[in-house]
């Protein structure tokens, strides 16, 4: 699979998490979150604006507003990365010790830097330096926030030096992470592996001593996708989902794999898109969580398949159904990061890569 195609797609797949530093959860902010989870994004935004008009120091409301703005961005809602950064910076201003707001800020900074890379606008190296400083701030608040360490491994290890890459720092963070957690240590080692490395074997070897581990099964399956070994990828994914039903989102990785094959070669549409549709429909049938945003997103993927095949009427029908569920459902091909959907009163440990599609 061609990485350049993937880099364009994963750009929007970003953001969020939360722990509410010693205060009782704000019920009105949670209500706004629930409205967004039910496809009522405009109502959620209005409620957050009301909350902030009454108390401009409500950190949790600023945090949820930042995530709402990002969600609107994925759905073509007209917001900008600067809007997101403004809100998350206010969340940090009013709750500076909240590690999840710090983590969110780091990811938002990374998104800003990544967009600079893609558009050729802005000082990429300066933006990456800010991103790394933000992730290091997260680790100063919570040294065992493994996801933050892994982002630093990927940034320093996968970017060229003129964009802020630093192989020595990458290796140092990877070594430290490996001593703290075996799975994240393996993820760090995999991120720094040369392209010629046999990553299927790498993850299979780890499964020998922990064969039911859903994280390792997921990684083995994804390695198989990169190797175009679809049968084994599906087998590993099925085992991962059996061990941890919340991994059902992997079904969409299978669907997207077939869709990306068509993006690379349109002549494959007749064989690849029906399989993609089957996997999307399978995912929708299991009532994925959060139901409304992810069901609407899946409908959007189906719409893309129908449109490409030439079923214009069916595509338009699916689009209207998706917009009825959630007008701001993600239009990106990449699966929306589940960081966007965690309740705003809990810390999140979802990780996604800016550099990889799966």
- DSSP letter string, 12-54: TS-------TTS---HHHHHHHHHHHTT-HHHHHHHHHHHHHH
**pLDDT value of position 2:** 46
Same domain, 235 and 125: no
**pLDDT value of position 77:** 85
Same domain, 214 and 298: no
Tell me how far apart the alpha carbons of residues 237 and 77 are, in angstroms, rounded to a whole number. Answer: 33
Say how many CA atoms lie within 13 Å of 49 toward its Cβ.
7
Q: How far from the centroid of its chain's Cα atoms is residue 126's Cα?
A: 23
**What angle do the packed helices 167-180 and 146-158 form, to 10 degrees?**
150
Tokens of 289: 């969580």
Tell me how far apart the alpha carbons of residues 205 and 200 are, in angstroms, rounded to a whole number. Answer: 9
Q: What CATH number did the domain enclosing 23 receive?
A: 1.25.40.10
- Total tally of structural domains belonging to the chain: 3
In a domain? residue 98: yes
pTM: 0.90
**pLDDT value of position 59:** 97
Say if CB 288 and CB 249 are below 8 A apart: yes
Q: What residues have CB less than 8 Å from 175, skipping those under 6 apart?
A: none
Same domain, 95 and 9: yes
**pLDDT value of position 23:** 47
Tokens of 14: 């970003």
- Mark out the alpha helices in the chain (DSSP H runs): 3-10, 27-37, 41-54, 59-74, 81-94, 99-119, 124-141, 146-158, 167-180, 182-191, 199-207, 214-226, 230-243, 250-264, 269-285, 291-309, 312-325
Place of tokens 């689009």: 319
**pLDDT value of position 289:** 84
3-state secondary structure of 229: coil
Say if CB 64 and CB 79 are below 8 A apart: no
Residue 100's region, left for phi above 0, alpha for psi from -120 to 50, else beta, is alpha
In a domain? residue 174: no
In a domain? residue 348: no
In a domain? residue 215: yes
Quickly list DSSP for 253-290.
Answer: HHHHHHHHHHHH-GGGHHHHHHHHHHHHHHHHHT--SS
Of 106, 124, 142, which one is at a domain's C-terminal end?
Answer: 142
Residues of the chain falling short of pLDDT 70: 1-25
Q: What domain range is 307 assigned to?
A: 250-339
In a domain? residue 147: no
In a domain? residue 163: no
Same domain, 225 and 276: no
**pLDDT value of position 25:** 53
């Amino acid at each position: 699979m061609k990485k350049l195609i993937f880099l364009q797609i994963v750009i929007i797949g970003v953001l969020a998490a939360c722990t509410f530093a010693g205060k009782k959860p704000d019920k009105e902010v949670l209500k706004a979150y629930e409205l967004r989870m039910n496809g009522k994004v405009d109502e959620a935004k209005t409620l957050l604006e009301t909350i902030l008009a009454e108390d401009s120091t409500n950190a949790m409301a600023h945090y949820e507003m930042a995530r709402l703005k990002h969600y609107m961005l994925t759905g073509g809602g007209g917001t900008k990365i600067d809007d997101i950064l403004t809100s998350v910076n206010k969340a940090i201003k009013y709750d500076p010790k909240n590690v999840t707001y710090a983590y969110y800020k780091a990811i938002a900074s990374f998104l800003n830097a990544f967009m600079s890379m893609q558009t050729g606008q802005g000082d990429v190296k300066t933006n990456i330096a800010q991103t790394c400083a933000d992730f290091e701030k997260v680790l100063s608040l919570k040294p065992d926030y493994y996801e933050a360490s892994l982002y630093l491994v990927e940034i320093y290890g996968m970017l060229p030096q003129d964009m802020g890459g630093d192989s020595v720092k990458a290796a140092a963070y990877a070594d430290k992470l490996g001593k703290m957690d075996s799975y994240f240590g393996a993820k760090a080692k995999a991120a720094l592996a040369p392209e010629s490395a046999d990553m299927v074997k790498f993850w299979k070897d780890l499964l020998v001593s922990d064969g039911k581990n859903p994280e390792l099964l997921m990684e083995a399956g994804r390695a198989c996708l990169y190797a175009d070994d679809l049968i084994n990828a599906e087998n590993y994914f099925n085992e991962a989902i059996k061990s941890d039903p919340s991994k059902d989102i992997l079904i969409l990785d299978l669907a997207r794999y077939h869709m990306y094959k068509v993006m690379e070669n349109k002549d494959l549409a007749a064989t690849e898109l029906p399989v993609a549709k089957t996997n999307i429909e399978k995912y929708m049938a299991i009532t994925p969580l959060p139901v409304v945003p992810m069901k609407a997103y899946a409908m959007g993927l189906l719409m893309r398949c129908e449109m490409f095949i030439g079923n214009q009427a069916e595509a338009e029908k699916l689009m209207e159904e998706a917009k009825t569920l959630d007008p701001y459902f993600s239009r990106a091909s990449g699966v929306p990061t589940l960081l966007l959907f965690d309740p705003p009163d809990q810390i999140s440990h979802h990780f996604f890569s800016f550099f990889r599609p799966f």
